[in-house]
């Protein structure tokens, strides 16, 4: 299974990024996140997602350092928070330095703008371009950017974001956004791909899962991958982590993909990127 879990997509700058990752949102710093990340790495995961706002970067870094996995084999993502964007470029530079210090891994594989803070994200992106040029962030990207945010950003950008991490699941397919990213060579990455567990309530997904002898979560994560969307499910339970990783030995039919796509209701489990207050 480890070999399958570490399958990669190549970013626009040539860097490999594992298609299946492990999310750490709402896992407490210290022993809880260290234990979870160690379990994920032991199961073969090679992509760990955190953020300054999660408050667990220190534990994530400790777990990676304590593992037997070579540093260059682990892809670590973190993100700059909104308050730092609002404080200006100097605060963004400091935020990156602080994240790098807390992780203590030598470099960050992917550094993202966490949310498109109005009037600030273009200045923030210029700082990310500077950081990327130093090599301390091997790749840079954005999170929660809609097509109009991308258009606005790219009007003055030197580097095209390599990744856009967005809410993506069967109730929020975001076809226009997927197309906009693909036109620009931006890899789409799904956060909350299981709708915080709510996917199990959808009858059509239960039916498809039964047909394959799989769980609903496995069907949805497989649907992500067949859309060429990187996905980062989160669970602190090692059995659930293993279940989430067992999605490389079956395939959804074209008809099943269409049925799942048709479940789209433009429903979010998280904030609207055009209307958030944090």
Which residues are the active-site residues? 54
DSSP state of 267: -
Please enumerate in sequence order all residues whose Cβ is within 8 A of that of 36, keeping only pairs 6 or more positions apart, or say none: 22, 24, 27, 63, 236
Give the chain's length: 278
* Residue 175 to residues 44, 62, 90, 182, 229, Cα–Cα distance (Å): 31, 38, 36, 11, 12
Q: Tell me which residue of 178, 149, 159, 152 sits closest to 261, measured CA to CA.
A: 178
Selection from 259, 172, 263 nearest residue 212 by Cα = 259
Tokens of 83: 């308050």
d(CA 220, CA 80): 28
Q: Decide: 79 and 52 in contact? Cβ < 8 Å.
A: yes
Residues 63 and 84: beta-carbon distance below 8 Å: no
Q: How many CB atoms lie within 10 A of CB 123?
A: 13
CA atoms of 27 and 54, how far apart (whole Å): 8
């Amino acid at each position: 299974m480890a070999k399958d879990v570490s399958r990669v997509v190549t970013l626009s700058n040539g860097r490999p990024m594992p298609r299946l990752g492990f999310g750490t949102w709402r896992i407490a710093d210290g022993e809880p996140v260290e234990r979870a990340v160690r379990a994920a790495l032991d199961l073969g995961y090679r992509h760990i997602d955190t953020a300054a706002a999660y408050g667990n970067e220190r534990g994530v870094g400790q777990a990676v350092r304590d593992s037997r996995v070579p540093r260059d084999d682990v892809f670590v993502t973190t993100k700059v928070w909104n308050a730092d964007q609002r404080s200006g470029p100097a605060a963004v530079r400091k935020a990156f330095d602080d994240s790098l210090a807390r992780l203590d891994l030598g470099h960050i594989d992917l550094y993202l703008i966490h949310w498109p803070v109005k009037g600030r994200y273009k200045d923030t992106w210029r700082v990310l371009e500077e950081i990327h040029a130093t090599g301390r962030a091997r790749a840079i990207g954005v999170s929660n950017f809609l097509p109009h945010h991308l258009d606005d950003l790219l009007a003055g950008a030197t580097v095209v974001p390599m990744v856009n991490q967005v809410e993506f699941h069967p109730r929020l397919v975001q076809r226009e956004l997927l197309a906009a990213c693909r036109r620009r060579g931006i890899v789409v990455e799904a956060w909350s791909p299981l709708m915080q567990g709510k996917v199990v309530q959808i009858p059509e997904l239960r039916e498809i899962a039964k047909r394959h002898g799989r769980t609903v979560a496995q069907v949805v994560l497989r649907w992500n991958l067949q859309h060429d969307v990187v996905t980062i499910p989160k669970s602190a339970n090692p059995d659930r982590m293993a279940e989430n990783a067992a999605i490389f030995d079956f395939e959804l039919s074209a008809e099943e993909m269409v049925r799942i796509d048709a479940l789209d209701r433009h429903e979010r489990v998280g904030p609207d990127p055009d209307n958030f207050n944090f």
